[in-house]
Amino acid sequence: DYQAAWLLEVRQGVAAIRAWEAANGRRLNGFLTLDFVDPFNRLLDRTPPRHVPIGMDPGRSTPALEPDTLAELARTDAILAPKCPPTTSREVIRQHFAEALAGRRLIALSPCWDMYLRD
């Protein structure tokens, strides 16, 4: 059930990003998803940020944010935060990236997705 729900959540996220871009006349240059899986750059044909760890898992792999990681994220238009379902791991990952989220505008894209937008 979790895998099916995740696929539906991703589908909702892709639709929400496309709708936001159309409504705002802006094509976002890339995404970081604050979760273990980060499919949006591939699905939307964007370039993912470099120097950013993938497969984040608070129990196994959340390395410290290096200066090159923070610099790359500062150039990335959108950081996505999944909300369905809210989990402790997702909140730990969001807190881990708090420095990269600072100064961004929080936008509720859909019931299951928030976007931290670089203006």
Nearest Cα to 117, choosing from 108, 105, 109?
Answer: 105
pLDDT score at 37: 84
Buried b (16+ CB within 10 A) or exposed e, 67-92: eebeebbeebbbbbbbebeeeebbee
The letter for the amino acid at 30 is G
pLDDT score at 19: 98
CA distance linking residue 57 with residue 47, whole number of Å: 22
pLDDT digits (tens, 9 = 90+) for 47-75: 999 988 777 777 776 778 899 999 999 99
- What's this model's pTM, rounded to 2 decimal places? 0.92
Residue ranges, the chain, pLDDT below 50: none
Nearest Cα to 72, choosing from 90, 53, 89, 58?
Answer: 53
